[in-house]
């Protein structure tokens, strides 16, 4: 299993794309194909079927387990053919697992994948990813970087995918340092500009607290970046104040980012001193893909 530490711009050799055949998953498929073409990578197109969860509205007449599997198998074959038609080496896998996120991680492990690509839905549906699994559990347990494509992510044309403007959010933790490596990998591969952001959650503090903290926070940020490979690459630093998810999304919109990179902690699933759920909000509302790295 490749570790995050060995993830480099020339090391995306195998991508696992998880799909539930929904419209947003179709959009994510374009990103998966684009990355495969850009990195000359192989793709495993995986659908995980949880027999306890029947979420497809177009299958009300199907009652048996075998009928449902047959429909999914045909859809998977068609999707795999679409990848192959673009010149991408493709393998398809229909797995039965409970919960379905575990089935996708098993597929990624078996394939020695370097990257997982999935779709997320609206904020109200964020607890469900492909057939009922949770995006939080997928990201929490994945050892590979996970690229999520939300319902508001830009539609991209089929062809090699290049990221030109990357927002990397950091909280100075080891997880964030690993995420910086991935941000740099994509930046080097695509010649992208990198905007490094740290958010101070000061919603409960008076405005004057921002000025008092700004110097120290910016100094820590500059020290962190100088000690990382990003220091040599060159990037723009931003210290933001307020609701973390909103601040990250605002910066991404301001610079017209086409990738957001996060390094959420496994135990808290987000930045230091930030309540649970911020990463999920970013995933749901981002107008570009979000790469999470542990």
Average of per-residue pLDDT across 114-118 = 95
- Does the domain at 4-149 match CATH 3.40.50.620? Answer given as yes
Select, from the ranges 40-54, 195-209, 271-285, the one with the highest average predicted confidence (pLDDT).
40-54
76 Ramachandran zone, left/alpha/beta (phi>0; psi -120 to 50): alpha
Distance separating alpha carbons of residues 221 and 204, to the nearest angstrom: 22
> Which residue from 156, 223, 131, 237 is spatially nearest to 193, judged by alpha carbons?
237
Are β-strands 115-119 and 14-18 bridged in parallel, bridged antiparallel, or unpaired? parallel
pLDDT band at 173 (very low <50, low <70, confident <90, very high): confident
pLDDT of residue 264: 67
Distance separating alpha carbons of residues 2 and 143, to the nearest angstrom: 8
| DSSP, res 155 | P
pLDDT of residue 172: 72
State the average pLDDT for the chain.
Answer: 81
pLDDT band at 57 (very low <50, low <70, confident <90, very high): very low
Q: Does position 249 have pLDDT exceeding 90, yes or no? A: yes
Residue 203, both tokens: 């919603």
DSSP string, 196-212: EEEEE--TTS-THHHHH
Residue 206, both tokens: 């008076």
- List all residues 6 or more positions away from 250 whose beta carbon is below 8 Å from its beta carbon: 240
> Which residue from 166, 111, 109, 110 is spatially nearest to 141, judged by alpha carbons?
109
In the chain, CATH 3.40.50.620 covers 4-149, 165-292
pLDDT band at 274 (very low <50, low <70, confident <90, very high): very low
pLDDT band at 220 (very low <50, low <70, confident <90, very high): confident
Listed in order, strand segments (DSSP E) in 77-155 are 90-96, 115-119, 146-149
pLDDT band at 271 (very low <50, low <70, confident <90, very high): very low
Average of per-residue pLDDT across 237-245 = 86
Cβ of 60: how many Cβ atoms within 10 Å?
Answer: 8
Alpha-carbon dihedral sign for residues 141, 186, 27, 74: negative
Residue 289, both tokens: 């893909």
- List all residues 6 or more positions away from 181 whose beta carbon is below 8 Å from its beta carbon: 4, 5, 7, 8, 229, 293
> Which residue from 156, 129, 197, 184 is spatially nearest to 27, judged by alpha carbons?
156
pLDDT of residue 50: 79
pLDDT of residue 42: 97
Residue of 34 and 212 predicted with greater confidence: 34
Only one residue has tokens 């927002």, namely 167
Q: Does position 94 have pLDDT exceeding 80, yes or no? A: yes
pTM for the full predicted model: 0.86
| DSSP, res 159 | S
Q: Does position 160 have pLDDT exceeding 70, yes or no? A: yes
Task: Let me know: does 168 contact 194? Beta carbons within 8 Å.
Answer: yes
Architecture in CATH for domain 165-292: 3-Layer(aba) Sandwich (3.40)
pLDDT band at 58 (very low <50, low <70, confident <90, very high): low
Task: Let me know: does 137 contact 99? Beta carbons within 8 Å.
Answer: yes
Are β-strands 146-149 and 290-292 bridged in parallel, bridged antiparallel, or unpaired? antiparallel
pLDDT of residue 112: 95
Average of per-residue pLDDT across 95-111 = 91
Whether residue 16 has a cis bond before it, omega within 30° of 0: no
Q: Does position 193 have pLDDT exceeding 70, yes or no? A: yes
Distance separating alpha carbons of residues 84 and 247, to the nearest angstrom: 40
pLDDT of residue 86: 95
Q: Does position 221 have pLDDT exceeding 60, yes or no? A: yes
pLDDT band at 212 (very low <50, low <70, confident <90, very high): low
Distance separating alpha carbons of residues 209 and 217, to the nearest angstrom: 12
Cβ of 276: how many Cβ atoms within 10 Å?
Answer: 10
- List all residues 6 or more positions away from 230 whose beta carbon is below 8 Å from its beta carbon: 168, 180, 183, 184, 194, 196
């Amino acid at each position: 299993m490749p570790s995050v530490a060995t993830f480099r711009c020339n090391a995306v050799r195998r991508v696992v794309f998880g799909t539930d055949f929904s419209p947003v998953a179709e959009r994510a498929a374009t990103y998966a194909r684009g990355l495969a073409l850009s990195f000359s990578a192989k793709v495993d197109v995986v659908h995980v079927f949880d027999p306890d969860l029947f979420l497809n509205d177009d299958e009300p007449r199907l009652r048996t387990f075998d009928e449902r599997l047959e429909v999914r198998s045909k859809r998977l074959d068609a999707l795999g053919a679409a990848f192959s038609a673009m010149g991408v080496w493709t393998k398809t896998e229909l797995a039965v697992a409970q919960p379905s996120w575990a089935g996708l991680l098993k597929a990624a492990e078996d394939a020695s994948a370097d990257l997982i690509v999935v779709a997320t839905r609206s904020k109200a549906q964020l607890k469900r990813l492909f057939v009922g699994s949770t995006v939080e559990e997928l990201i929490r347990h994945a050892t590979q970087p996970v690229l999520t494509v939300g319902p508001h992510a830009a539609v991209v044309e089929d062809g090699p995918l290049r990221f030109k403007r990357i927002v990397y959010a950091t909280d100075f933790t080891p997880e964030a340092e690993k995420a910086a490596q991935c941000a740099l990998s994509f930046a080097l591969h695509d010649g992208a500009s990198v905007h490094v952001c740290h958010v101070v959650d000061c919603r409960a503090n008076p405005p004057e607290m921002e000025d008092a903290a700004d110097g120290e926070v910016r100094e820590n940020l500059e020290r962190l970046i100088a000690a990382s490979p990003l220091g040599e690459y060159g990037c723009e630093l931003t210290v933001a104040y307020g609701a973390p998810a909103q601040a990250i999304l605002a910066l991404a919109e301001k610079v017209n980012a086409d990738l957001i990179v996060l390094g959420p902690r496994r135990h808290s699933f987000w930045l230091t001193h930030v309540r649970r759920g911020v990463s999920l909000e970013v995933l749901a509302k981002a107008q570009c893909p979000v790469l999470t790295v542990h």
